[in-house]
């Protein structure tokens, strides 16, 4: 019996992954959290707070471990298949990583278990607050890993998607946890008043989906999003370099547009090491189309520091963007972890962060705010470009993770960013998923993954500010902290 509850929590967490892309069975996130709440909401609240804390941590940790192992095991592909790490070590590294990230779900569950009062409405609010803070902490601590935050599962057609422009992905996750707790309480206590509140929450989200927080500006811009589909195991071979450079040029020639976009690291070397005249040829092609080309590459400053970057050349003034949120172990080594690179072979792994605030590129009458790969997981960082930016553009190379959940999950994250900011999100990727996401979170156009091709779209920029773009995570996190503090105050008074 001791293993039954943690085992059920583990299975519920694993099942929650079906709520995310590519499955998008969004009600399963609701069910999985309701199971966790029901496991935690057992026994007399006042009896053994320390014991409740330990028990809650174990159940939450098991839930989080199940979700992460099922949802981000694609990290193994990068470490073993492309990073060269031996199979047992790669498997152990993934297990330890997922266990480390599951601690946050454990702490959130432990906090709720210690604070719960046995009162349906208060307990539902405390569960939501603790869950929100746990996910926010995971997205911030040690540079953060907010992948699979529960709010990402609630893209349209989920009614909760309507709350994303107000309170962001963490706020949506908190509402999801609140709704799950209400439903679990209604079933357990045979009390249907919580169902009425749940219906109001869902109806409110549905009504908010009809609100246009931003409005289009300017004329439609023709954009070509290019998907080069270069195999990761071949990308860095010196003898293949000229072939990749030629593919870039040919795709630019074949796809006239005002803005032409090639993906992250489409030039797999420092831009100042390019063959003589190459960048000028890119400029000539783009200008011949009456537009500009954006290319993912690596740049180096006067001090020799290397950046994962994107540059633009063409009829407009040249632009430059340097990635500011780097991936630990993939793009830089945290202190004391240099030994990791003795086990894995990852090219260009000693990079420097770009500035926290960088001006959007001014192209074709639009102001385009760039982000590279993993950066679009951090919503509060993307809103720094607002309200100036009219379009968001992500350049990615997820070939590191093979044919896995990583590609559709990343597209789902982009849908939430579009909702939060009220801006279209353009995506140019190496192997998928290259797409245009509209401000309402809808995917308007998309290329098949793992095929070379071009996505030609006409898109208008958007102006205006959503509530989330103005205030970020502060309202949702602040309210959650207040609820937890009130719960702590009640517990101390009754001790």
State residue 193's pLDDT score.
80
Q: Both 123 and 249 in a single domain?
A: no
Q: Both 206 and 292 in a single domain?
A: no
State residue 347's pLDDT score.
58
Q: Both 160 and 307 in a single domain?
A: no
Q: Both 455 and 480 in a single domain?
A: no
Q: What's the pLDDT tens digit per position in 439-466?
A: 999 999 999 999 999 999 999 999 999 9
What lies within 8 Å, CB to CB, of 288 at 6+ separation is none
Q: What mean pLDDT, rounded, does the chain reach?
A: 92
State residue 271's pLDDT score.
93
State the residue range of the domain holding 130.
4-211+473-494
CB 218 within 8 A of CB 183: no
Lowest-confidence segment of 328-332, 370-374, 458-462 by average pLDDT: 328-332
Q: Both 305 and 248 in a single domain?
A: yes
DSSP 206-247: HHHTT---SEEEEEEEEEEEEE----HHHHT-GGGHHHHHHH
Q: What percent of the chain has pLDDT over 90?
A: 81
Structure tokens at 340: 């990791």
Residue in 110, 109, 103 with CA at minimum distance from that of residue 180: 109
The set of catalytic residues is 264, 323, 373
Q: Both 155 and 17 in a single domain?
A: yes
Question: 455: domain CATH number?
Answer: 3.60.110.10
Cβ–Cβ contacts within 10 Å for residue 2, how many?
7
Q: Both 145 and 234 in a single domain?
A: no
Q: Both 405 and 424 in a single domain?
A: yes
pLDDT at 2 over 80: no
Q: Both 105 and 245 in a single domain?
A: no
Q: What's the pLDDT tens digit per position in 45-104?
A: 555 677 889 999 999 999 999 999 999 999 999 888 878 889 999 999 999 999 999 999
Top-confidence residue, 495 or 96: 96
Q: Both 160 and 48 in a single domain?
A: yes
Structure tokens at 415: 């849908």
Taken as a whole, the chain contains a residue count of 495
Buried b (16+ CB within 10 A) or exposed e, 434-470: bbbbbbbbebeebbebbeeebbebebebbbbbbbbbe
Q: Please tell me the distance from the alpha carbon of residue 452 to that of residue 81, in angstroms, as a whole number.
A: 22
Q: Both 189 and 276 in a single domain?
A: no
- Number of domains the chain contains: 2
At residue 341 the predicted structure's pLDDT band, cuts being 50, 70 and 90, is: very low
Q: Both 383 and 410 in a single domain?
A: yes
């Amino acid at each position: 019996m001791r293993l039954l509850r943690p085992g059920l929590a583990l299975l519920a967490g694993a099942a929650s992954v079906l709520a995310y892309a590519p499955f998008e069975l969004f009600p399963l996130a609701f069910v999985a959290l309701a199971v966790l709440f029901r496991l935690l909401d057992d026994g007399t609240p006042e009896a053994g707070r320390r014991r409740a804390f330990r028990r809650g941590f174990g159940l939450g940790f098991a839930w989080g471990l199940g979700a992460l192992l099922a949802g981000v095991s694609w990290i193994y592909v990068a470490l073993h298949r492309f990073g060269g790490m031996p199979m047992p070590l790669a498997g152990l590294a993934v297990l330890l990583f997922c266990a480390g990230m599951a601690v946050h779900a454990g702490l959130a569950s432990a906090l709720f278990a210690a604070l719960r009062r046995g009162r349906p409405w208060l307990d539902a609010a405390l569960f939501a607050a603790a869950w929100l803070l746990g996910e926010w902490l995971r997205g911030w601590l040690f540079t953060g890993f907010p992948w699979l935050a529960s709010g990402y599962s609630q893209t349209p057609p989920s009614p909760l998607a309507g709350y994303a422009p107000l309170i962001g992905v963490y706020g949506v996750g908190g509402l999801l946890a609140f709704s799950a707790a209400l439903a679990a309480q209604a079933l357990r206590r045979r009390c249907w008043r919580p169902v009425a509140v749940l219906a109001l929450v869902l109806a409110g989200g549905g009504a908010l989906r009809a609100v246009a927080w931003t409005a289009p500006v300017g004329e439609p811009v023709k954009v070509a999003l290019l998907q080069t589909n270069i195999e990761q195991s071949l990308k860095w071979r010196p003898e293949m370099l000229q072939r990749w450079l030629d593919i870039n040029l040919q795709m630019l020639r074949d796809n006239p547009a005002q803005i032409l976009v090639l993906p992250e690291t489409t030039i797999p070397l420092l831009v100042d090491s390019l063959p003589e005249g190459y960048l000028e040829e890119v400029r000539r092609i783009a200008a011949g189309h009456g537009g500009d080309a954006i290319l993912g590459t690596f740049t180096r400053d006067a001090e020799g520091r290397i950046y994962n970057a994107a540059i633009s050349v063409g009829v407009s003034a040249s632009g430059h963007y340097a990635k500011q949120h780097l991936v630990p172990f993939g793009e830089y080594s945290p202190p004391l972890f240099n030994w990791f690179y003795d086990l894995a072979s990852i090219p260009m792994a000693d990079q420097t962060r770009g500035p926290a605030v960088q001006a959007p590129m001014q192209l074709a009458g639009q102001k385009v705010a760039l982000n590279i790969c993993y950066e679009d997981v951090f919503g509060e960082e993307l809103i720094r470009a607002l309200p100036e930016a009219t379009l968001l553009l992500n350049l990615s190379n997820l070939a590191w993770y093979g044919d896995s959940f990583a590609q559709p999950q990343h597209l789902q994250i982009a849908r939430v960013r579009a909702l939060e900011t009220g801006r279209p999100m353009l995506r140019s990727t190496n192997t998928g998923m290259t797409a245009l996401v509209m401000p309402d979170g809808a995917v308007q156009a998309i290329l098949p993954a793992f095929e070379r091709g071009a996505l030609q779209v006409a898109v208008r920029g958007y102006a205006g500010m959503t509530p989330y773009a103005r205030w970020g995570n502060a309202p949702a996190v602040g309210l959650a902290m207040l609820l937890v503090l009130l719960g702590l105050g009640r517990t101390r008074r009754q001790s």
